[in-house]
Amino acid sequence: MEVFELLLAHFGPRHWWPAKSPFEVAVGAILVQSVSWENTARAVRNLEDAGCLDPHRLDALSEEELARLIVPSLYFRQKAKKLKAFVRVLVEEHGGDLAGMLSGATGDVRRKLLSIWGIGPETADSILLYAGGHPVFVVDAYTRRIFARLGVWDESVTYDEMQRYFHRHLPADVPLFNEYHALLVALGSRYCAKTQPRCGGCPLAAHCLYARSGRGEGGEPG
């Protein structure tokens, strides 16, 4: 919680996930895989402008039509397949009702999402937390790097190990999980870069083994 408070004081509330509906959150969670949010947002706007931010309309598109709309997200052909797989389950098994799809015990819903082709743990957890309001902590490459540099774990830590760490040490609170993940993304993207991190301005520098080693900001690449 000390890390959370330091990040919140530095960045302020992040108002994340930026979306107009839970379905838009789910679409964005799939499109943001391996690409910046800026590119993802452009692809989502294309879908909105085409009137396709709707499960039934998205399901009715061909993969080729969908791929053309989401070109800014990169890997657009693969992501078109993933989106189609997701909305097919949503429409055929839940009538397009995302709230219904995401209702139930968190573990059961998570297993259902992970059974859909193209949905991995980070994507599933983003949908669960931000679209479904389930108390699951989303971890990512930024989380791995930041807490490895703080000395909490080794870079080889698994996704499940990272997530269990947060679940053990934090109350199961959806707004907290939401804000914490968003703050870590802000820190990772602005300061804790993979190479040449800006340790001098980092709000966690005083607590960070990496920063105290002197390798950041003009020193040895991370």
The reply to whether 88 and 177 lie within a common domain is no
Could you tell me if 117 and 208 lie in one domain?
no
Indicate if 57 and 102 belong to the same structural domain. yes
Closest CA to 37 of 58, 22, 18: 18
Does 221 reside within a domain?
A: no
Q: What is the pLDDT of residues 104-158, one digit of tens each?
A: 999 999 999 999 999 999 999 999 999 999 999 999 999 999 999 999 999 999 9
Q: Are residues 104 and 127 in the same domain?
A: yes
| Band of pLDDT at residue 218, cut at 50, 70 and 90 | very low
Residue at 220 is within a domain: no
Whether residue 219 lies inside any domain: the answer is no
- Domain region containing 93: 22-131
| Confidence tier at 198 by pLDDT (50, 70, 90) | very high
Render pLDDT for 39-86 as a digit per residue (tens, 0 to 9).
Answer: 999 999 999 999 999 999 999 999 999 999 999 999 999 999 999 999
Residue ending a domain, among 96, 111, 131, is: 131
Shared domain for 70 and 163, answered yes or no, is no
CATH of the domain at 58: 1.10.340.30
Query: Looking at the structure, do residues 70 and 127 belong to the same domain, yes or no?
Result: yes
pLDDT given at position 214: 85
| pLDDT for position 215 | 78
Per-residue confidence band for 216, with pLDDT thresholds at 50, 70 and 90? confident
Last residue of a domain, one of 80, 115, 131: 131
Q: Is residue 55 part of a domain?
A: yes
| The length of the chain, given as a count of residues | 222
Whether residue 88 is found in the same domain as residue 42 = yes
Count of the separate structural domains present in the chain: 2
Query: Do residues 174 and 150 both lie within one domain?
Result: yes
Report the predicted TM-score, pTM, of the whole model to 2 decimal places.
Answer: 0.93
Whole-angstrom Cα distance, residue 28 to residue 51? 15
Is residue 34 located within the same domain as residue 113? yes
Amino acid letter, residue 200 = G
**Residue ending a domain, choose from 82, 114, 131:** 131
Distances (CA, A) of 222 to 55, 155, 189, 193: 42, 12, 14, 8
Do residues 31 and 126 share a domain?
yes
Residue type at position 219: G
Judgement on whether residues 119 and 149 belong to the same structural domain of the protein: no
217 is a domain residue: no
Do 150 and 203 lie in one domain? The reply is yes
